[in-house]
Amino acid sequence: MNAVIEAKGLNLTFETNDGPVHALSNIDLTIENGEFVSLIGPSGCGKTTLLRVIADLEQPTGGTILVNGVTPEEARLSRAYGYVFQAAALYPWRTISGNISLPLEVMGIARSERKARIESNLELVNLSGFEKKFPWQLSGGMQQRASIARALSFDPDMLLMDEPFGALDEIVRDHLNEQLLKLWAQTQKTVVFVTHSIPEAVFLSTKIVVMSPRPGRIHEIIDCDLGADRPLDIRETPKFLEIAHRVREGLRLGHSYDDREPAES
Ligand SMILES: Nc1ncnc2c1ncn2[C@@H]1O[C@H](COP(=O)(O)OP(=O)(O)OP(=O)(O)O)[C@@H](O)[C@H]1O
C-alpha cells in the first residue's frame, strides 16, 4: 500500500466579517491507496472543508498536504479524483449521457471513446438504458448514481464524496450503499466519504475518521475491519455494533471536550 493522501499539521482559518473561523486544526491524516475512508462528525466540524482542501477547492492556512504525492493543485490538474456533491448537480438541459460526457469533452476525448466510457460507467452504477433520459426524469437515487458515473468517467484514482446520499430515504440509501461497496470492490478506487450517519460509515469504510468541532480536528481514527463481503444484515452482527458503539462514543467524547472548551480557555 502507498499513501494517496498525506496531511500533516493541516490548519485552515476562514477570515469572515464576523472574525476568523478556525475550520481545521492540526489535522494529521494518511490515507492509503484503495482504502474507503469516512469522515464523520457533527455539523460544522470541517468535514466538507477537509474534502475541499484535498480537492484544491480551499487553501490551507498552515501545514502540508500531498495528494498522490503531489500538491492538491497538481493532483487536480492531473485529474486524480472525481468529486460527488451532496446534491447530484447534473445539468438539467443535458441528457444523462450528455452529463457524463461533459468532463470527457473538456478533456478532448474522441466521440467513440466517450461513448464507450459512458456505457461502461452507466453499467457500473446500474443505469444502462437511461442514457437518453434527462435528470428530471430520474429519481433522486438514480440522479446520484448518474453523478457517480460522471465522477468516474475519466477513470480517476480517487472518489471524493460529500454526503452523496444524505438527502435520500433510508431504503434507497441502503441500496446505494450496497451498490457503492460493489463498485469500490470492482474498481479498487480510493474513496473519501463524508457522512453524518454512523451505520453508513461503519457499513462502507475500512477506516472511520471521527471529527469534533470548533475548531475542527480529528478526535479518533477507528479501523473498520469487517472484511470485504458486507451484506446489509452485517449491521446486526456483534462486530458491527461494537464498531458503531466506538464511533458513537468517539463523537460523544469529541462533543464533551467541545462543551468544556470555554471554561478551560
Ligand atoms: N467559505 C467559508 N467561509 C467562512 N466560513 C466557512 C466557509 N466554509 C465553511 N466555513 C465554516 O467552517 C466550519 C466548517 O464547515 P464545514 O462545511 O467544513 O463543516 P461540515 O462538518 O462539513 O458541516 P456539515 O456537516 O453541516 O456539512 C463551519 O463553521 C463553517 O461555517
| Ligand 1 within 6 A of CB of 47 | yes
Please give the number of the atom of ligand 1 that sits closest to the Cα of 163.
27
Distances from the Cα of 210 to the Cα of 6, 22, 69, 260, angstroms: 17, 18, 24, 18
Q: State the distance from the centre of ligand 1 to the C-alpha of 205, rounded, in angstroms.
A: 23
Please give the number of the atom of ligand 1 that sits closest to the Cα of 14.
4
Q: How high is the pLDDT of residue 23?
A: 93
Q: How high is the pLDDT of residue 229?
A: 86
What ipTM describes this predicted complex?
A: 0.96
Q: How high is the pLDDT of residue 106?
A: 86
| Ligand 1 within 6 A of CB of 14 | yes
The domain limits of the chain are 3-80+159-167+192-264
What is the chain's mean pLDDT, rounded? 90
Q: How high is the pLDDT of residue 265?
A: 37
Pocket test of ligand 1: the residue of 25, 48, 194 to mutate, having most ligand atoms within 8 Å of its CB, is 48
Number of residues written out for the chain: 265
pLDDT along the chain (265 residues), means of 10: 90 92 94 96 93 96 95 92 86 94 89 92 89 93 90 89 86 87 90 95 96 91 91 93 95 66 42
Please give the number of the atom of ligand 1 that sits closest to the Cα of 50.
18
Instruction: For the full predicted model, state whether its pTM sits above 0.80.
Output: yes
Q: How high is the pLDDT of residue 1?
A: 58
Question: What's the rounded Cα separation, in Å, for the pair 129 and 34?
Answer: 30
What is 3-80+159-167+192-264's CATH number? 3.40.50.300
Helix (H) or strand (E) holding 39: strand 36-40
Q: How high is the pLDDT of residue 172?
A: 83
Residue having the nearest C-alpha atom to atom 14 of ligand 1 = 46
Q: Grid coordinates standing for 175?
A: 441500496
